[in-house]
């Protein structure tokens, strides 16, 4: 992994950590979570994060 790839991965993981927290606290809906996830996948193009994007690690409340 290059430094640039590592930086993108780090930014994606940090951003999605905040998004997951917002979702778990009810600040955003599951639909908004999905939209934000897609936006940040496209923006950061993470190598590892894109694998985990398929798996809901921390489900949002309904």
The pLDDT value recorded for residue 32 is 96
**pLDDT for res 48:** 82
Domain around 11: 3-52
Task: Give me the count of residues in the chain.
Answer: 62
Residues in the chain, pLDDT under 70: 50-62
* Domain-located, residue 62: no
Note the pLDDT of residue 59.
60
Cα angle 2, 13, 42 (rounded to 5 degrees) comes to 75
Does 38 reside within a domain? yes
Residue 47 lies in a domain: yes
Domain tally, the chain: 1
């Amino acid at each position: 992994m290059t430094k640039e790839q590592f930086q993108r991965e780090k930014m994606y993981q940090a951003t999605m950590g905040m998004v997951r927290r917002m979702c778990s606290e009810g600040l955003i809906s599951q639909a908004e979570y999905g939209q934000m996830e897609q936006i940040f996948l496209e923006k950061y193009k993470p190598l590892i994060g894109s694998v985990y994007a398929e798996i809901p690690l921390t489900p949002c409340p309904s």
